[in-house]
A and B are shown apart, each in its own frame.
Chain A
Amino acid sequence: MAATALVSARLDPSMREQATAILRKANLTDTTVIRRVYEYIVTTGDVPEFVKTGEFEVGAPAERDHFDDMAEWLACGPFADEDWTWLSDDVVADSKGRGWNDE
C-alpha cells in the first residue's frame, strides 16, 4: 500500500529539536515514530496507554559514556548499513607495504 497520506502536527520547536536529536541517535525519524504508533493502533485495535493518558513513568536516565556512543555507532551509525568488505585485512596490509612479499 502506497504511503501517501500526510499527517501534520504543530509542536514546540525546542521540543521537536530535542526529540529529533534523540531519534537520530536511535537511527529513527519522526515519520517512523508516527508510522509505528499508527501501526500499533491498527494492529492491536487499541491505543498505547501513555498516549491515552498523556502520563508516563520517568526513570533515572541510564548513565552513558562515550563507549556507549561508540557501540551505538557500530550497531546503527552512519556506516552500519554499507558494505565494507572491500576494506579487508589484506587491503590494509597491502597499504602498509605488506602482503605482496609475505613468505
Chain B
Amino acid sequence: MSRILLDTNAAIDLVFPREQERREAMIAILCELSEERDELLLPSLCLKDVSYVLENSAAAKRRWAERADRMALSSRARSYLLAHCTIVAVDDLVCRRAHRNHTEPDFNDALVAECAVIAHADVILSSDRRAFNASLVPKMSPQEFARHLAVRD
C-alpha cells in the first residue's frame, strides 16, 4: 500500500499537462498505481493553493480576463482532485508541528511536510527542489517516483 501525498505543483500536474517530461512521468505513475493498494493524498491547503492560482494569479487573469471563466476552470480542477484524492486536514496538530518545523523553506512547506507525517504518507510527490529535503517522509519527483514504481513488485 502506498500513500502518496501531493504538493501543490504535483496536484496541478495531475490535472493540467503543463510540461512534457512531467506529463509523461505522471501518466507512467498513474498506469502503475492500483486502487487496491495505492491512495493519493492532498493537503487541504494545496487544494486551496490550486484554486487560488487559477482564480486570482496575475497569469490566470492575463489568460482569462473574465472572472467567471477562471472560477469555472478552478471549479473543474477542484472537482477532479476531490474525485480522485483523499483530502488531508491541516488541523491543530499539523499547524503546531509545522510551527516547530524549521527545516522547510517556509511555513507552507512545513504544513505539507507535517501533513505527510500525520497522514502516514509513504512519499511526498513534489518537483520542488528546495522543499522536503529533510522531511520525515521522503520526497520524490514525478520522474523518480515513476522509476520507483516501474520496479515495484
Pick the residue among B9, B15, B33, B80 that contacts A67 (CB under 8 A). Answer: B33
> How near does chain A come to B3, taking the closest CB pair, in angstroms?
14
For chain A, residues 56 to 94, give those with C-beta under 8 angstroms from any C-beta of chain B. 65-71, 73-75, 79-80, 84-89, 91-92, 94
Task: Report, as a range, how many residues of chain B touch the other chain.
Answer: 35 or more
Q: Which residue of B lies closest to A81 (CB)?
A: B17
Q: Is B71 an interface residue (CB 8 A)?
A: no
Q: Is A98 an interface residue (CB 8 A)?
A: yes
Contact with A along B55-72 (1 / 0, CB 8 A): 011111011000000000
Q: Is B31 an interface residue (CB 8 A)?
A: yes
Q: Is A8 an interface residue (CB 8 A)?
A: no
Q: Is B150 an interface residue (CB 8 A)?
A: no
B9 touches A95 (CB 8 A): no
Question: Cβ of A92: which chain B residues have Cβ within 8 Å of it?
Answer: 8-9, 12, 49, 53, 57
For chain A, residues 3 to 37, give those with C-beta under 8 angstroms from any C-beta of chain B. none
**Given that A66-B84, A92-B49 are contacting pairs, would A79 and B17 also be in contact in the complex, using a CB cutoff of 8 Å?**
yes
B84 touches A95 (CB 8 A): no
> How near does chain A come to B56, taking the closest CB pair, in angstroms?
7
Please list the residues of chain B having a beta carbon within 8 angstroms of any beta carbon in chain A: 8-9, 12, 14-19, 23, 26-27, 30-31, 33-36, 38, 49, 52-54, 56-60, 62-63, 80, 83-84, 105-106, 108, 127-128
Further contacts, 13 of them, CB under 8 A, given A95-B52, A96-B49:
A73-B15, A79-B17, A87-B12, A87-B60, A88-B59, A89-B9, A89-B127, A92-B53, A94-B58, A96-B52, A96-B53, A98-B106, A98-B108
13 pairs of residues in contact across A and B, judged by CB atoms under 8 Å: A71-B30, A74-B14, A86-B60, A86-B63, A87-B53, A88-B59, A89-B9, A91-B57, A91-B60, A92-B49, A95-B56, A96-B53, A97-B108
